[in-house]
Structures are given as structure tokens and as C-alpha cells.
Structure 1
Amino acid sequence: MLASKPKPHPLVQVSINWCFGWQRPGLGGREDVAIGDDALGDIYGEECMYMPVAAPKQKCSLSRLLPGQDYYFIVRAVASSGKGEFSKVLGPCTTEKESPQKAQALELHDIELYTCSTRLRLPFNYGSPITEVHTVLRRLDGPLALEEMDEEGQVHAHVAGQEHTVAPSSLVAVDDASEASRRPQTGVTGALLRTFATEGFDKASCRFTSRKSSLECCTGRSYVVNFSNLRPGTEYEITWRCRNAMGQSPFSGALLVKTDPAAPDQPPPIAVESL
């Protein structure tokens, strides 16, 4: 008697590593999760683990799922006689939302004697749109005038640094890449589409992009952040963090900048005491 293929079995174990969310299985469209082995590689961040079935019911262990996303799962049994049919879809299984994680450091765009222009890129929002950007500039070293210090020699607060809190929608957005450099992006899922939508992109922009999406830089779009009233010949560090409805992210790494030195100020007139 020939061995028969295994029958569908309940979900055993699947591990998804930093996946941007699964779409409900469909009819083979690129945006859908396919149910065939040949298309598994098109699911962004997807990873399957095959485990021996030791009992009719076995618990599965899922780790590193993204917060605030809907997940659907299927499983099938595999034996020496062949592969069985897939089980029914399990889901949607929705994970809880979380605050954003650490973002990329700011990028220096331009610096002059008294101003500095930087660019930031928003990280993945972890299921809740980013509503606030908080930047911090601190003076590290440089020349000081007497009027920039108090009687005890401490630097005045407005000279020592700056802090600004703004909404991302109030920042000037810049698309760095040209249309010619855009390439199709595989593994586009619902979570990725929603993240692009919160930054004002359409679906076409998500599917054709010049940058591969990541947790630290999801859409690739940069936002201009300017600092003014700086001091010539002075070194500064700039960090930033962001917030969604669940809380704040940690501060990013520091961007170190130094303004160009300037000519000395005009001295006061010479006083003649006697001739």
C-alpha cells in the first residue's frame, strides 16, 4: 500500500522576523500572501520553521512580531510521501501598539556661520502614527563673549542649546531620489502601505522606491530641520526623538557639527587719556 500525503494539521510553529505584516491570502497578487512555496520569498521578512509534530496539538512560539499589526497564519504537514494541504487561515491576530524605537541620527545638509540645516527620516511608527518630533541642540565648545556668560562664568541658556518640538506635518518634506532611480519593491504589505500613507505617499510610491524600507527609515523621505542663532567657530551636537500615541522613542545618536570661524568683532574706539 502506497503512503498517502499528510492531511492538514493545526499550526505548529512559525517565526516571523521583523515582518511588516501579512496580507490575507488571496489569488496570487503581489500584495497578497501566497500559499505556495515558490512565493514565500516575496513576503518581506518572512521566515518559516518546520518542526516535527509530536502530538495532535502542539503549542507554537511566535516572537519579534511588529506591534499594532494584523497577522494571519497557515500551516501544513510535511512527510516523506509529500506535502499536505494548507490548514485554514488563523487570524487576524492583532498585536498591541508600542512607542517608536530608536531613530537614525540627523544628516547634515548645510552649515554656515549662524545657521545649520539638517534632515531627519522618520522610523517605523509601530502601529500608531508619529505625531511629534523633538530636537535638541547642545553647545560643546567654542569662543564666548562676556555678555554670553553670567557673573559666575556659566553660559546663558539660549547660548548653551536649543530644544524644539514640532509636528512632522509642519516640516518641509524632501524626496531625495529622482524618478529614474526608483525600483519595484517586493514584499509590500498592509502595514507598510499604512506607514507610507501617514507620510502623505500614495500606493505607487510605496511599490516603487529608491530606498529599501527598514525599521529605522521606513519610507525614505527626509524632513528639513533648521537651527539658527548659532555662534561662529562653535561645536554642537544634535539629537532627536519622536512620539506616537503610545509614548516617546529613545534619543537618536548625536550629529556633531561645527560652524565656520568668523572675523573678530569690531573693537570699541580707542580712548585717549592724555596728550
Structure 2
Amino acid sequence: MTTPRPDRPDRPRRGIPLRALAPNAVTALALCFGLTGVRFAIAGEWEKAVASIIVAGVLDGLDGRIARLLKGESRFGAELDSLSDVIAFGVSPAIIIYLWSLQTLPRFGWLFALAHAVCCALRLARFNAQIDSHEQPHKSAGFLTGVPAPAGAGLMLLPVYAWLVTGEAVLREPWIVAPWAGFVAFLMVSNVATFSWSSLKLRQGVRLAALVGVALVGGALISAPWHTLTVVSILYVLAIPFGMRSYARVRRQRAAARSAPSPDAPAA
């Protein structure tokens, strides 16, 4: 067995591990799609602009799962993911919605677009600051705090989906788009408990039906993408109060469990 030479001490490895290359490449690809959406918006190709943001959202949902599958989680990947999310789901949708509608609102239109980008950045900064915190009541119960960045980008573009479906010019009016943009920005930085995948508890009897539903939604996204995205976005917003109620129930159950006397406690 060889012994290490004293004149060549072991040095820490630098660079990205090979197993982390694939998830980081997917993250970088999501960033590219997000920025490409801005390019299409500048050219007035709204369908391609929105589709680029949706593809970025799909890729963002894959990179973390690929990293866990390959055991390629890293601090570098987490930082890259946050930077990619700010650009792809904060800056890009803000510019798209500004070029599509808000630029017709003198002086104030840019402020609403800016609010979305800033709130997305603040949300991700809060997430990074709390990532090592032990006190995360929403996460420990399987819920998210506020609307995540990809979902916020999707909700931000809801007026565009509806316009692509109906062709109604009124949907591009800034007096409709601006309040909606402000509402979505608020949801991202709020402390509202929203559903995550781990918070959805499906009974065994409905799991097969849920798989059929997911397959049908996937097919609808291919055959009628804008109709489907409109319906999914509306249903997501309508589900937020139910998420708040579910989390309140979990809090009550935890409070009752803490106040209940321990079976090992001596009787008074």
C-alpha cells in the first residue's frame, strides 16, 4: 500500500462533481429558456414567449429530482437554481407582461412589472436564508410558504393565456393586468400556506383516478395548451384558501398534541 508523499499533501477537490453536472445543466437550460422568452416577447411572438417560460418551469421541476436521483446535490447547484429562478420566473415574465400590456400605462406600468421581479427575488432570498433553519412550520407540515417562483410566473401570465384563448382585447388593458400582477407579487412574498406535493394525501382508492387525471391534463396541454393553462391557473388560485385551511387544521392538531399530558407523566 502506498503512503502519501510528505511533499505532496492531499488537497481538497475543486470544481463540480461529475454527478452534479446533469442537474446543473438542466438548471442552466431552464435559465436559457426563460431568457429566450424575452427575446420572443420583443419580437411580438407571444405564444413562443409564454411557451418558453412554461418549458423553463418544467425543467426547474426536473433538476432537483435529477440531483436527488444521482445524489448530486451541492451548494453550487442550490445557488445556481436560485439565480436561474430569479431570471426565468421573475425578470423574464415581468418583461413579457410589460411588453404585452403594461407599457401602455404611463409611468406606473413598469412599477407593477418591477414588483413581480423584486418579489420573486425576495422570496428566493428568504428561502435561502431559511434553508438551514430548524423552525420551518410550513415545511415541516408539508406545505409551502407563499406561491413558489415557477407557479408565480405561471399565474403572472394568466391574462396572456386567456387572451390567446379568447382574443379579447380587454384582457390586455393595464387596468386589468396591473392589479393582477400586484396580487401575484404579493402571493409570492406572503406567509400564506400553499399546497406542495408532499401535503397532498391521496387515499388509496383515488390514486388510480388521480393518475388518469394527470394523464388527461398532459394530453390537454398538448392539444389545447392555452385553455388548459387558463383552467389550471384558476384552479390553483382557488385552491389557496383550502391550503390555508388545511394548514390551520394541522396547527390545531399540533397544538393539541403539545398540550395533551404525557402518558408517562406522574398523576397529580
Q: TM-score range by the shorter chain?
A: under 0.3
TM-score scaled by length of structure 2: 0.20
Q: Name the one with the larger strand percent.
A: 1
Q: Which of structures 1 and 2 has the bigger CA Rg?
A: 1
TM-score scaled by length of structure 1: 0.20
Higher RCO (CA 8 Å, separation ≥ 6 residues): 1
